[in-house]
Amino acid sequence: MATGTRYAGKVVVVTGGGRGIGAGIVRAFVESGAQVVICDKDESGRRALERELPGTVFLLCDVTQEEDVRTLVSESIHRFGRLDCGSTVLATLALPHLRKSRENVINISSLVGAIGQSQAVPYVATKGAVTAMTKALALDESHNGVRANCIPPGNIWTPLWEELAASTPDPTVTVREGMLAQPLGRMGQPAEVGAAAVFLASEASFCTGIERLVTGGAELGYGCKAGRGAPVEAPTIPS
């Protein structure tokens, strides 16, 4: 289907849409023909996005605050009259509208929610929970015609990744390690996550409860994981 028509006439709310992966998802849905509500608690990128993407609506919202989410959903419905795609953080308030449109939920998880990451127990636990919650929601809402899927990205080059690298002793080495974690030899781009989101919303009509990996193959093969801390004694191999 030609660009500009894949999700034409649909209304999408993108949480965390002000920058990084969220902004990549916003751009992809705009290109697909959707009407997009950008939700973010930080207004710093608002004017740039509104200039770049005329027709989008930016609503200041902290998704940890129920009243903010309530306002976000009600304002989106007031402006556009429907809702076709959003994330689970809107679920309690948005589900009645998603059931009417019989559309879908897309959550952003993380590859580390499945494979783990050192020194990151809280982050890994929350991302794993997002994936598990998506599967449970898919079961609960299937009889209402609402699909729920998630995207667990791997290393995606975003402002946050850049900031994290800059805080390390050697940012160049850190970035190179991030690139070489993928068999493809590079990090992903927010636009590639956006493309996966549009696919799930528009074409993946027989998919629910799935994890659409966007990882460059980072989960494949073996890697150097031992060697930290005390030496590991080699096991005896039976003859």
Burial annotation 85-98 (CB, 10 A radius, 16+ → b, else e): bbbbbbbebbbebb
CA–CA gap between residue 197 and residue 48 (Å, rounded):
22
Exactly one of 123, 140, 173, 183 is catalytic; name it: 123
Beta carbons within 10 angstroms of residue 19's beta carbon: 19
Active site residue 123: yes
16 Rama class: left (phi>0) / alpha (psi -120 to 50) / beta: left
Q: Between 171-180 and 159-166, two packed helices, what is the crossing angle to 10 degrees?
A: 130
Strands (E), the chain: 11-15, 35-40, 57-60, 85-86, 104-108, 147-151
For residue 110, give both structure tokens.
Answer: 């993380």
Residue 234 buriedness (CB in 10 A; 0-12 / 13-18 / 19+): exposed
- Pick from 167, 168, 185: nearest CA to 176: 185
Reduce the DSSP state of residue 30 to 3 states and report it: helix
Residues labelled as active-site residues: 123
